[in-house]
Structure 1
Amino acid sequence: MNCFCASQNNTNDNCCRANDLCCFSGNLEDVTATPIYVQSVYDAVRFHLNGMKTVQGLRFTPALPCGCSISRVLDIRCKKVFDPSQAGDCDNLTLDMETGISGATFLNDSKGIVETIGPDGVPSEKIIFADTSNCDEDGCGTPIFGTQNVRMWGNIVVYMDLCICDNCGRESNMTVCAEVNIAKPSHPLVLTNFFELCMPSTSNSAFMPRLTELSNTGFTCRLATNNSGRDICISPNGDITANLIIGICVTMEKKITVPVQICVLSTGFAEAPLQENTSDFINCPGLFPDRNDGCCDASGNGYASGSCSQVQVCDTCPPQQNIDCGCGCGDYQQATPYNR
C-alpha cells in the first residue's frame, strides 16, 4: 500500500509500477479513426562511437579489513556521475555535440542557429534548408552529408565487488568504489564520425524539415590484464589500488523530421486514475477540452455509438436461391445426414 492507500501490486516496497492509462475491451466497434498532429520521421541513421581510457593505480574505498585478503573479483560496474542539484557541475558526465552539414544549411538569425521545441520539451531541433528542386522533379529526396564531433567530459563511479577471505578461511563479499575522471572541460575527449541523410522537399511544404539528434553513453570496465594478482595491489594498511581499462561507447541517432497530420486508429482517450477521493458535492473540472467532432460523446471520455455509418458489406455465405429449371429436380428434398 502506498501513502494514498492504493495497492502497488509489487512485492518490493521500494519500487513501483506505472499506472495503466489505456485499456481495450477487445471489441472492434470501440476502435475509431481520429486525426492527430505530430512529427513524422522522414529519415534516420544510427551509429556508435567507441573510445578507451586506461587508469593506473586507481584507489578504491573503503580499505580492506585487517587480516583479510582478496580471493577473487566478482564483478566490476560503472555509473555516470550526475548531481541534479548542480546540473552545471563539471564533474557531471556531459556530452556536447557539434554537427556540421554539407549540401544544406541551418537556419540562422541574429542569435545564431534557430532551434525549435522538440518532443522532449526543450529546444532540440534545428531547421535545415536546401534547394531540393532537382530531386523534386524526380520525386526523390535530397541527400545531405555531415560531420559529427562529440566532446565528452566529467566523471564516472567504478564499483568493484570482491570476495574476501579472513584469517580463519571464511569468505564474504565486499564492494569498493572509486571515482574516475574521463576528461576535463578544458581538454574533453573528442569522438568523430560522418553520416548521410535524406531530406524531403522544401518547396512543396508549409514546413521546413528539422534535424533531431539523440545520444547516450555507456561504459564498460575491466582489469587491465584480467589478472587480479597483477592488476590489484593492497598496501599494508589495507588500501586497494587497481589498474583498469574503461571502454566508452556513445550511441547516436540523427533524424530528419517533418510535421504531419495523420489519421490513426484509437480505442479511446487516456485517463489517469485519481489518488484522492472528493465529495460528491464538489464538481471537479476536466483537464482537456470536450470533443464535438462526432467521434466521442460530449464528455470526451469515450466514443459515441453510431458516430460512423455502418458500411454494408457482402455476405460471405449468401442463401442458396431456389431456381426451378422445369425438369422436376426441385420436387425432391435434400437428404438429411444420418448420424450414427
Structure 2
Amino acid sequence: MSCGNKSGPINLALPDKCCTATTGCAPFDGNLRKVVTEPIYVQKVYDAKLFNLQAIRTVANQTFSPALGRGARIIRVLDIRCRKFFNPGNISDIENLVATPDTTLSGAEFVETAQGTPVTAIGPDGFASERLVYTDTEDCDELGRGTPIFGTQNIRITGNVIVEMDVLFSDDCDKECVATLTANVPIGTVENPLILTNFFELCLPSVFEGAFLPRFTEFCNISCETRLATNSIIRDIMINPATGVVRANLLIALCVTCEKKIIVPVQLCVLSTNT
C-alpha cells in the first residue's frame, strides 16, 4: 500500500528480472564427420484436436483484504486481474483450481483389466495419463485410412482463483492512497463443481497392424479474467464505514483449453554428434 506523493513501495527487485534458458547441448562445430545416426524411442501424435470452452461465474459480496480503514472511500479502480490458485505445498489442496475431464467413447472402448480398471501407459508428463483404445478398424484398414471414433467429455472445474484489485481511495483525512485488495474466490467444490460438456471426433490408426495399441490422452488448462459485475463502483463495491472492509460483486470468466491426442509409440532415427 502506498499513500501520498512522496511515499511508495520499496523496490527490492534484482536488476535482471528475466532470464535466458540453456539446453545443455554443445554447439555444432560444422564438422559432418562427427554426425552419426542414432535411434530414439518416442511417442508420435497420430491425431489431435484442440477445444476452447468458456464459463461464467458470478460472485456476490466477496470480501477483500486488507481493510481500508474507517471512513475510506474508493475513488477509482485502477486495475483488476485474476489468476489460478495453487498451493505448491499440497498438490491435493481442494482450493487448487483444476479441470478434471471425464471422457466416454462411442464406436471404441478403453482397454480394461478383468477388474474393470483402465489400462494406462506413462505419458510425457511422467504420470500414467494415457489409456489404451480398441475398436474394430478392419474396414478402414483395407482403405489405408484411420477409423473415426466419437466421444463425450464432461469437464469438472473445482478450486479457487485469486482476484487482485488496485484501487485509488481516500481515507478519513481525505488523503488519496493506492492499495491492492486481494480475495480468494471459490469457483467450484467437489460436491458442486462447475461442469462443461464437449463432444469430439478423433481418428484411430489400425489396432491390428501395429505392434502397440493406440493410446488416448487429454489435458486441460484454465485461464481466467474478471471485472466488476456491472462495471460500476457505486453498484458493485460496498465499504463498511466503521471498519473499511471492502466487498464487491464480480463477474469471472473462465477460459478452458483442452487438447485430446491419439498417440502411438515409434522409433525414430536422428542425426547426432554424440555430445
TM-score, structure 2 normalization: 0.87
Following superposition of structure 1 onto structure 2, how do residues 290-305 of structure 1 map, counting pairs within 5 Å?
Answer: 296=274, 302=275
User: Contact 2:69–2:245 (CA<8 Å) still a contact in 1?
Assistant: no
Q: Which is worse superposed, 209-218 or 89-98?
A: 89-98
Secondary structure of 1:123's partner? coil
Task: Provide the aligned C-alpha RMSD in A.
Answer: 2.1
Match of 2:240 among 235, 243, 261: 235
How many angstroms apart in 2 are the aligned matches of 1:145 and 1:28?
50
Q: Tell me the residue number matched to 2:27.
A: 24
Rate the CA distance shift 1:20–1:86 in 2: closer, same or farther, 3 A: closer
Contact 2:150–2:201 (8 Å) recurs in 1: yes
Partner residue, 2:160: 155
Separation in structure 1 between the aligned mates of residue 267 and residue 23 of structure 2, nearest angstrom: 27
Q: How does 1:1-340 map to 2 (within 5 A)?
A: 11-12=15-16, 17-25=20-28, 27=30, 29=32, 31-109=35-113, 110-166=115-171, 170-237=175-242, 238-266=244-272, 268=273, 296=274, 302=275
Helix, strand or coil for the counterpart of 1:90?
Answer: coil
SS, match of residue 134 in structure 1: helix
Taking the aligned partners of 1:28 and 1:195, their CA distance within structure 2 comes to 49
- Structure 2: any 5+ residue segments left out of the alignment? 1-13
In the TM superposition, what is the alpha-carbon distance from 1:78 to its structure 2 partner?
1.7
Q: Secondary structure at the match of 1:113?
A: coil
CA distance in 1, matches of 2:199, 2:31: 47
Assess if the C-alpha contact under 8 Å between 2:72 and 2:239 holds in 1: no
Report the Cα distance in structure 2 between the residues aligned to 1:146 and 1:223, rounded to whole angstroms: 37
* Structure 1 runs not aligned, ≥5 long: 1-9, 269-295, 297-301, 303-340
Q: Tell me how far 1:57 sits from its aligned partner.
A: 1.1
1:180 aligned partner, one-letter code: V
Q: Equivalent residue of 2:222, what SS?
A: strand
Q: What is the alpha-carbon distance in structure 2 between the residues aligned to residue 262 and residue 148 of structure 1?
A: 33
Q: CA deviation at 1:166?
A: 4.3
Structure 1 residue 170 displacement after superposition: 4.9
Percentage of identical aligned residues: 49
How far off its partner does 1:186 sit? Answer: 1.0
Letter in 2 for 1:52: I
> How big is the shift at 1:16?
5.3
Higher relative contact order (CA 8 A, sep 6+): 2
When residues 192 and 170 of structure 1 are mapped into structure 2, their CA distance, relative to the original with a 3 A threshold, is same
Amino acid paired to 1:254: K
Q: Greater strand percent: which structure?
A: 2
TM-score (norm 1): 0.71
Paired AA for residue 118 in structure 1: G
Amino acid at match of 1:244: L
1:163-199 CA distances to partner (integer Å, 9 max, x unpaired)?
2234676543210111211122112111100000001
Number of equivalences: 259
